[in-house]
Every structure is written in C-alpha cells, then in structure tokens.
Structure 1
C-alpha cells in the first residue's frame, strides 16, 4: 500500500483549519466561569461573572476557571479525535499482534549478595 504524502498533508491541513474554526464552550460546575476553546484546545475566551468577582469567596475563581477550561478542552478532544482517526487510520492501519507468545522481556536479576566476613584485624593495618 503506497502512502500519498501530498494527499495526507492536504487532509491534515484541512482538518487543522476545521479545528481552528470550531468553538467549544463549557461552564464550571458552579456556573461562575465560562470557557471557550478552539477545536485544537486553544483558549479563546474566559468569562467570569460579576457576582463571583465581588462575592465573599473570590479565591474560588481559580479552581472554577481550571474546571471550565478542562471541560471545554475535553469537549474539543471528543470531537477532534474521531476526525483525526478518520484521516490517519485509513492511511496507517494499526499493526496487530499475531496470536502467539509475547516477546520476552529481559529482566535484570540481582545476584545474591555475598557477604565478606571481616576479621577483627582487617580494619587495622
């Protein structure tokens, strides 16, 4: 099976453009932070509610922002991963392991420690 590198590059560039144009939005569990990322996971917008900024616990904004960005990136990955597999999998079929024994792994075994007996005079020279 011959690999057409030019065609693969064109498909990858098209997919990259699609991912750059896509937007995925997610909110923090408490709803005070909203994050927007591109299809490739780049942060585009982060919105924090006024109530959170002027509320009694502004120290909770950081973890809420991390949770919102993480959720948005997970949504982006959930959409992008099948698209990437569609481009790459038909070009590069996965190598499947043949049924048979697994390759032997070399293991380093410790040699039993040999004890040297010290005589009472060995440290006196």
Structure 2
C-alpha cells in the first residue's frame, strides 16, 4: 500500500497490509518492508482503535483513525467494496479498478485539498 499526499511538504506512506473483517467490524494491520508491525487499526460500531508502539488510542471514527496513521483520511470502509471490484462512491475520491484482476487498485482523492494518491498491490495470498 502506498499513499502520497500532495501537502506542503508532500507526505508519503508505504506499508504492507492485511485487511480482515468487513466494513462494520474489522482490522487493518500495517507492516514495514521487513515485516515488523507498524500499527494495527481496529474498528467496530461506536469504536475505532489504534494500537501502535505498545500503546492504544481511541478515535471518534475510522476516518479519523486512518488520518492519524497516514496523514489523510483513507476510506477504509470503501476498501472492502473496491477490493471486491465494486466501484463504491466516496465523496471526493475517484477509484480505478481497471487493473484489479492483475492485483492493482488505484484511488485518488481530489477534494478536499490536498490531493492524495492511494495505490494498492495485492500479493494474492
């Protein structure tokens, strides 16, 4: 997973990931290129939790949680639909599923500024 935010200065976030669960209750584990766990994002109705560096913090929403980790609100709930090949609409985001069969997904946030480019490569396991 790679995310580039066109902020000043630009921000880049790259991590391996494992997404489990569903839109309502799930977990997103982010790992470094060497396989160490960078963060674990968990959500269920009424709760969004970040586990990182031996600490846990609660957030008011999955969007606020993903923004704390990556620098921008990534539509985590929409990722499930996108990964199923469903072009779920998310305000301000455009998703490109043309290469999903080849294990690639791209989504671009065009509003609000700054723009962001999310690229996901699936390993098929």
Q: Please give the range of the TM-score, normalised by the shorter of the 2 chains.
A: under 0.3
More strand by share: 2
Normalised to the residue count of structure 2, the TM-score between the two structures is 0.24
Instruction: Work out which structure has the larger RCO, using CA pairs closer than 8 Å and 6 or more positions apart in sequence.
Output: 1
